[in-house]
Amino acid sequence: MQSPVADRRPQSFDRVLSSMCTEPHPAAREAAERFLATNPGDPATYETVAELEREVVADLARLAEHPAVDDAEGAPTERVTDDTDTVESAYGYVTSGGTEANIQAVRAAREQTDANDPNVVVPASAHFSFQKAAAVLDVELREVPTHPVDGNPEQAGRVDLDALTAAVDEETAAVVAVAGSTEYGRVDPVPAVADAAQTVDAAVHVDAAWGGFALPFTDHDWSFADAPVDTITIDPHKLGQAAVPAGGLLAREPATLDSLAVDTPYLETHAQATLTGTRSGAGVASARAAFDALYPDGYRAAHERATELAAWLDTELRQRGYEVRPRDLPIVAVALPESLLAALREAGWKLSPTAAGEARVVCMPHVDRSALEAFLTDLDRLR
């Protein structure tokens, strides 16, 4: 017989190395609990959480430097220039996670395209949620290769732009760029991907589900404010340190959300653009609380700490003769023999491999130097 739920505890985060989720910030945990019995899917009844959701959308847009546009020319209504500026209007909602946000982005593109037989072009590094999107929405998924991870470190793991350009056509509804790939933490060249999309009038979607909360603190040479990005996935329940479930979908134009909306005749509000109906108010409140506590200094500090930790681990692994893959954001992917990876898992390390078999250490806030020292001690013992 199983012991009663009250006697059971979740796993500790001590040995969790490959997860993209983490311990929520204390303020986020508290807010989640306080808003547990709310449903932002019914904003007329649950008004406070609906208001919090609008604030989260503005927070995310500010973080992503992704101001909304209102005029026909597509010019941003407001440019986010420094930490004190606010985004006046932003469109989007708090999803159940990156999967829902990606599905909805593909759905919006399909709703808005003139194509008869729409396709979506994604890099091979794209998260498997795009396969779900393609299956559910009956669109063709065109996967284009990324540069080999053991090749030129400048391009390794990023989308092959020539292949991408060759793959888009008049039937392309959307082109996807990944900003923080699940396996290697790589960031695709967003403006060049957007250029390729524009040649065929396709929508541009950026999947920054994991990377979105780190990108503002890196010196990438583009901004969402410059690149004509239509939609972004950016998840508070990953690097945002909010409680699950709190994903984010942002849109540049209200028409994108309108294309997702269905009539809701018996609710006081008359349309709903979300994929789910009843939703977690806990995730919404938690995302707002985490942002309040951490933006921008806490997120910056978390990113700098994770970056230093990744660099340290990288050096330690190379000194032991292992190959470490290039990264933009702090995920250390290291080629370990399969038997060693299995032995480390056996020793309790929660490590998941890439498709090519490298071990991935995702430097989330709960991963610290002492955990990684213990990991290396086990690695030295087992190799």
* Binding flag, residue 68, ligand 0PR (CB under 6 A): no
* Binding flag, residue 187, ligand 0PR (CB under 6 A): no
CA distance 232 to 211: 11
* Binding flag, residue 182, ligand 0PR (CB under 6 A): yes
CA distance 187 to 277: 33
CA distance 164 to 160: 6
* Binding flag, residue 97, ligand 0PR (CB under 6 A): yes
Q: Residue for token digits 């985004």?
A: 87
Specify whether the CB–CB gap between 241 and 206 falls below 8 A.
no
Q: Least CB distance from residue 247 to ligand 0PR, whole Å?
A: 5
Residue with smaller CB distance to ligand 0PR, 99 or 165: 99
CA distance 366 to 344: 19
Residue with smaller CB distance to ligand 0PR, 366 or 383: 366
Residues 202-221 that bind ligand 0PR (CB under 6 A): 207, 209-210
CA-closest candidate to residue 104, choices 253, 250, 202, 236: 250
Specify whether the CB–CB gap between 38 and 283 falls below 8 A.
no
* Binding flag, residue 21, ligand 0PR (CB under 6 A): yes
Residues 324-343 that bind ligand 0PR (CB under 6 A): none
Q: Least CB distance from residue 179 to ligand 0PR, whole Å?
A: 8
Residue with smaller CB distance to ligand 0PR, 78 or 188: 188
Residue 262 CB neighbours (<10 A): 10
Q: In the β-sheet with 231-233, what is the strand arrangement from edge to edge?
A: 91-95, 247-251, 231-233, 203-207, 172-178, 119-123, 140-144
Specify the length of the chain in residues: 383
For ligand 0PR, which residue of 41, 66, 87, 99 counts as binding (CB under 6 A)? 99
Q: Least CB distance from residue 87 to ligand 0PR, whole Å?
A: 23
Residue with smaller CB distance to ligand 0PR, 76 or 240: 240
Q: Least CB distance from residue 42 to ligand 0PR, whole Å?
A: 23
For ligand 0PR, which residue of 20, 225, 267, 382 counts as binding (CB under 6 A)? 20
Give the contact letters, 105-144, x = binds to ligand 0PR (CB under 6 A), - = no: ----------------------x-x---------------
Query: CA–CA distance from 82 to each of 63, 85, 216 (Å)?
Result: 10, 6, 11
* Binding flag, residue 241, ligand 0PR (CB under 6 A): no
Is residue 12 packed enough to be buried (19+ CB in 10 Å), middle (13-18) or exposed (0-12)?
exposed
The rounded radius of gyration (Å) of the Cα atoms in the chain is 21
For ligand 0PR, which residue of 40, 98, 189, 281 counts as binding (CB under 6 A)? 98
Q: Least CB distance from residue 47 to ligand 0PR, whole Å?
A: 27
* Binding flag, residue 13, ligand 0PR (CB under 6 A): no
For ligand 0PR, which stretch binds (CB under 6 A), given 18-26, 157-165, 316-324, 336-344?
Answer: 18-26
CA distance 188 to 164: 12
The H-or-E segment that residue 360 falls in is: strand 359-362
For ligand 0PR, which stretch binds (CB under 6 A), given 13-21, 132-140, 275-283, 290-298?
Answer: 13-21
Sign of torsion over alpha carbons 102, 350, 237, 324: negative
Specify whether the CB–CB gap between 82 and 59 falls below 8 A.
no
* Residue 334 phi, psi dihedral angles, 5° rounding: -125, 135
Residue with smaller CB distance to ligand 0PR, 69 or 126: 126
Q: Least CB distance from residue 189 to ligand 0PR, whole Å?
A: 16
Question: Where does this chain bind ligand 0PR (CB under 6 A)?
Answer: 19-21, 97-99, 102, 127, 129, 178, 182, 207, 209-210, 235, 247
